[in-house]
């Protein structure tokens, strides 16, 4: 299988979640066992030698490959969620979105200074959510932080919104 095959298995939905947005749906990759395996293999190869100790999945599509990759890497899995979804004490970071303001939280005891963290989500558009997750993760003072997306929408230049030293990689660039 190839990256072209993964791309051909993606679905696009016009005007979702709001009019004027073309939504790239990764659930079609998740429901296809061969695509899911290929995606997991690609992600594992990208990070197997980085010393990752925690994978942070961004709510909610980042949970799927994030958890799978954590198991494969022998790392722990941490959920980054919207307010009110995590039961214990949290740290949080707020950010602006294309159509509003939001906040993301992680449990206070989820990451330590000894961790090497991989942040994972499905799609890089403008980068607002992940940039907040990146700033939030940095509050824990881990040894290192990597950022990964399944898809990057290059025309939106979301990568440009991260610090120059951010270690950001994507599987598919569209």
Q: Please, are residues 161 and 126 in contact by the beta-carbon 8 Å criterion? A: yes
Tokens 């990208």, residue?
Answer: 46
Bond preceding residue 25 cis, omega within 30 of 0: no
What is the distance between the alpha carbons of residues 58 and 45, in angstroms, rounded to a whole number? 21
Does the active-site annotation cover 89?
Answer: no
Catalytic residue among 11, 38, 81, 98: 98
Instruction: Extract the runs of DSSP E, i.e. beta strands, from 17-108.
Output: 22-25, 54-58, 76-80, 90-97, 100-107
Determine which one of 61, 81, 93, 152 is catalytic: 61
Tell me which residues are annotated as active site.
Answer: 61, 98
């Amino acid at each position: 299988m190839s990256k072209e095959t993964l791309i051909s298995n993606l679905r696009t939905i016009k005007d979702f979640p709001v009019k004027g947005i073309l939504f790239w749906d990764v659930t079609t990759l998740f429901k296809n066992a061969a695509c899911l395996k290929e995606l997991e293999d690609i992600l594992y190869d990208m990070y197997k030698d980085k010393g990752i100790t925690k994978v942070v999945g961004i709510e909610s599509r980042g949970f799927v490959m994030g958890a799978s990759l954590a198991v494969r890497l022998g790392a722990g899995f941490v959920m980054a969620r919207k307010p009110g979804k995590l039961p214990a004490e949290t740290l949080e970071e707020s950010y602006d979105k294309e159509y509003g303001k939001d906040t993301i939280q992680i449990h206070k005891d989820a990451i330590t200074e000894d961790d090497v963290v991989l942040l994972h989500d499905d799609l890089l558009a403008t980068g607002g959510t992940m940039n907040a997750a990146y700033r939030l993760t940095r509050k824990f003072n881990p040894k290192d932080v990597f950022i990964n997306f399944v898809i990057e929408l290059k025309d939106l230049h979301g990568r440009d919104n991260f610090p120059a030293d951010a270690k950001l990689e994507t599987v598919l660039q569209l």
